[in-house]
Amino acid sequence: MKSKELSIRVDGVTKDYRIYSTAVDRFRDALGLRANFKEFSALSDVSLKVNAGEFWGILGKNGSGKSTLLKIIAGQLQATKGSVICHGRIALLQLGLGFDPELTGLQNIKQSRLLQYLTDDYEQIVDFVTDFSELGDFINYPVKTYSSGMYSRLAFATAIAGHPDVLIADEVLAVGDMNFSQKCLAKMREFKDQGKTVVLVTHDIGAVKNFCDHAIWLNEGKVISSGHATLVAEDFRNFMLYGVVRSLNDEGTEPRSTDATVSTTDEVASESDVTWIVPNENRRTISNEKVAIRGYRYIDPIDRKAIASLRPNDRNGLEISFCFLEGAEIGSFGFTWHDRSGNIAVHLNSEFFGGGAVCGIAGQVMTARFLFDVPPLADGDYSISFGCSNRSGELIEKYDYDSTIQILHPRSPATDRQGGYVIISGAKFELDCNV
């Protein structure tokens, strides 16, 4: 299967269940007679399009419909409404599904191949499963003696041994140690590099940010947000932490340009030639409506001119202009830079440097300013999240991943060949030969 070919298409899928008060009502309904029951919708008008070679994450709290959606995609459940089209062979990896607890690990591997009509390759894959699962002699013990982590290891290794075109993994990172979870994610990335499709259901927001290209967030069976993995993951995080429910892709909503220039009549700008970045309202995740951030900019601290890129080790500044909508107190300001995978590269808070609280009255405009030396981060674009908090640390106003700033290194043979998170511009290598 080639990359960019359609792998999974879900159109308007709805899954309804009838919940009966008694077994008699269930029996009467099966006969077409009048029965008492309640309708429960596990999924409601869910649509999704996944191309081959993409890594998708599915987020949602318990009972949101994630597992139901996966089972419908894998063909284990029938949708009440809508359609599902899948191309290639699908492997559904779900903890607690498919193994006989009375059989040994080896016997369950063989049974799994029988169920998939793949008995011919048992001898070829058994060594791989044994090695990848790291179960050692436990591979010969009954599965009922396994811990949940050992069970997950066996299930994951057995599923990927079949070389599926689509791997659907349901909460496989929730159990087991960190090293094995990282091993599983590395294998998923290898699948993606081979043009295969990976769909991961997990509560690990960091895993979705770091490994997934796209994500979808389900809540009570409905799609709340779908799109870039980092943005959807932050949407879900804010919902779980603060109860903020917001869709990043409401139809008809156009993001405001981050290249907007504040006019000289606006209180944000005090100089006629200053360019400010106006925050994108779609990226505002928290607000108590007492403070409004009006604009921000990176500056040269000497002449206070706006700058569009940064160089490591240079002294630079970040200014944030804000307005009090009513009388309030701000305890601190902070900002975070994220790399392309959503990892935190830099986080600064005014409290780190002795910044005190500030009080203001309705209509008052102020500017907060950070002055700092740019760290030697690797070349690339870094998005910014920023906001302010009260004295107790509760966020007042916050924007996530609002715009990007580019970090540029002076070119040299040494810096061109380096990788990782930081670039070491000055280093020395020595070799002592002992005679």
Per DSSP (E only), the strands in 237-290 are: 284-287
pLDDT of residue 198: 87
**CATH number of the domain enclosing 127:** 3.40.50.300
d(CA 371, CA 321): 15
Among the residue ranges 142-151, 258-267, 381-390, 393-402, the one predicted with the least confidence is: 258-267
- Calculate the CA 318 to chain-centre distance: 27
pLDDT for residue 225: 87
Of 364-373, 374-383, 415-424, the range with the lowest mean pLDDT is: 415-424
Question: Strand pairing partners for 317?
Answer: 299, 371
Res 273 pLDDT > 80 = no
185 and 285 in a common domain: no
Residue 331 lies in a domain: yes
Whether 274 is in a domain gets the answer: no
- Do 234 and 341 share a domain, yes or no? no
The pLDDT of residue 287 is: 92
Beta strand 214-219 with 365-373 is unpaired
Distance CA 110, CA 102 (A): 14
Asked whether residue 265 is domain-assigned, the answer is no
Range of the domain at 160: 6-242
Mean pLDDT of 345-354: 91
**Least confident residue range of 50-59, 186-195, 202-211, 271-280:** 271-280
Mark whether 68 and 198 lie in a shared domain: yes
| End-of-domain residue from the set 242, 265, 297 | 242
Q: What is the pTM of this model?
A: 0.58
Question: 286 to each of 152, 235, 291, 320, 400, how far by Cα in Å?
Answer: 37, 11, 11, 16, 9
* Rg for the chain, CA atoms, rounded: 27
Whether 218 and 107 share a structural domain: yes
Q: Which of 105-109, 135-139, 359-363 has the highest mean pLDDT?
A: 359-363
Cβ–Cβ under 8 Å, residues 39 and 77: no
pLDDT digits (tens, 9 = 90+) for 64-122: 888 889 888 888 888 999 999 988 878 777 665 568 889 999 888 888 777 665 566 67
Q: Is the pLDDT of residue 151 over 90?
A: no
Residues 217 and 301 placed together within one structural domain of the fold: no
Amino acid type, 93: L
**Average confidence (pLDDT) over 282-297:** 91
Better pLDDT: 101 or 172: 101
Res. 49 pLDDT band, cuts 50 70 90: very high
For 173-192, how does the pLDDT look when each residue is reduced to its tens digit (9 = 90+)? Answer: 655 566 677 677 777 778 87
CA 292 to chain centre: 27
Closest CA to 300 of 374, 366, 355, 365: 374
Residue 170 lies in a domain: yes
Looking at residue 264, its pLDDT comes to: 26
Are 345 and 232 within one domain? no
pLDDT, tens digit (0-9, with 9 covering 90-100), for 322-343: 999 999 999 999 999 988 767 7
Total domains, the chain: 2
Three-class DSSP category at 103: coil
Any domain includes 252: no
Percent of the chain predicted with pLDDT > 70: 85
Residue 293 · residue 387 · CB < 8 Å: yes
167 and 30 in a common domain: yes
Whether the CB-CB separation of 319 and 432 falls below 8 Å is answered with no
pLDDT at 196 over 60: yes
Render pLDDT for 9-25 as a digit per residue (tens, 0 to 9).
Answer: 999 999 988 888 888 88
Rounded distance between C-alpha atoms, residue 375 and residue 435, angstroms = 41
Task: Look at residue 270 and tell me if it is in a domain.
Answer: no
Residue 49 has a CB neighbour count (10 Å cut-off) of 14
Reported residue count of the chain is 435
261 has pLDDT over 50: no
Q: Does residue 218 sit in the same domain as residue 290?
A: no
Q: Is residue 204 part of a domain?
A: yes
Q: Please report whether residue 251 resides in a domain.
A: no
**Predicted confidence band at 411 (pLDDT cuts at 50, 70, 90)?**
confident
Query: 187-210 burial string, b = 16+ CB within 10 Å, else e?
Result: bbeebbeebbbbbbbbbbbebbbb
Read off the pLDDT band of 270 (50, 70, 90). Answer: very low
Sequence-ordered list of residues with C-beta below 8 angstroms from that of 189, at least 6 positions apart, any chain:
55, 211
> Do 227 and 353 share a domain, yes or no?
no
Pair 39, 137 in one domain = yes
CATH assignment of the domain containing 377: 2.70.50.60
Instruction: Kindly state whether residues 35 and 153 are assigned to the same domain.
Output: yes
Which residues are bridge partners to 405 per DSSP?
382
Same structural domain for residues 297 and 177? Answer: no
